[in-house]
Each structure stands twice: as structure tokens, then as C-alpha cells.
């Protein structure tokens, strides 16, 4: 994977996190985000366990690992939330 491809994946993860919203029920709280990004990138993020993609839904779930990675990326880029 070249530098540009890695940058796209990192920025997609950041954007998923920054545009996410919280959904909760009695047992759990999840972060969800719209999946309006390149499907190949989303599939790669899912393969890494950072997000969970449903082919029926128009949104993705961010995993705990994905949230941690996104927060680290924000810190690495000097951004905060």
C-alpha cells in the first residue's frame, strides 16, 4: 500500500469517527457513521476490525478498536475532539 492509499484510509477513519453518532439500547452503546465513502476502503477497515459493515444498512458501526485508532490518528494529526 502506498502513502496516498494509507492516507485515504487514515482520513476515512477520522471522518467516520468525527461524523459518528451514538446509539444505545439497554445493553450497549454504539457509535455509528454513514458509509458514504469508498467501499473498497470500508471493506479494508472492516477486515482490520475497525468497523462493522452491514450490506443492508446505510451506516457502519465503529468498533472499540476503531474508536481507539481514530482517536490516535486525531492526536497524530494534531487535531482533537
Residue with cell 469508498: 38
Q: What CATH number is associated with residue 18? A: 1.10.10.10
Q: Where does the pLDDT of residue 23 fall: very low under 50, low under 70, confident under 90, or very high at 90 and above?
A: confident
Instruction: Let me know the angle formed at the C-alpha of 52 by 4 and 23, rounded to the nearest 5 degrees.
Output: 115
Look at residue 81 in the predicted model and tell me its pLDDT.
57
Number of independent structural domains in the chain: 1
**4 membership: H or E segment, kind and range:** helix 3-18
Q: pLDDT tens across 38-81, in order?
A: 999 999 999 999 999 888 889 999 999 999 999 999 999 998 75
In a domain, 56, yes or no: yes
Rounded Cα gap, residues 67 and 62, in angstroms: 6
Question: pLDDT per residue over 30-39, tens digit each?
Answer: 899 999 999 9
- Is residue 81 included in any domain, yes or no? no
What is the CB neighbour count within 10 angstroms for residue 35? 17
Q: Supply the pLDDT for residue 49.
A: 97
- Count of other CB atoms within 10 angstroms of residue 14: 19
Domain extent for 22: 3-76
pTM, 2 dp: 0.89
Amino acid at each position: 500500500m502506498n502513502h496516498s492509499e494509507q492516507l485515504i484510509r487514515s482520513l476515512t477513519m477520522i471522518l467516520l469517527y468525527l461524523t459518528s453518532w451514538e446509539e444505545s439500547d439497554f445493553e450497549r452503546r454504539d457509535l455509528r457513521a454513514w458509509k458514504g465513502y469508498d467501499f473498497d476502503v470500508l471493506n479494508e477497515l472492516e477486515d482490520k476490525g475497525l468497523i462493522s459493515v452491514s450490506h443492508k444498512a446505510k451506516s457502519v458501526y465503529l468498533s472499540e478498536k476503531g474508536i481507539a485508532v481514530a482517536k490516535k490518528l486525531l492526536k497524530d494529526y494534531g487535531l482533537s475532539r
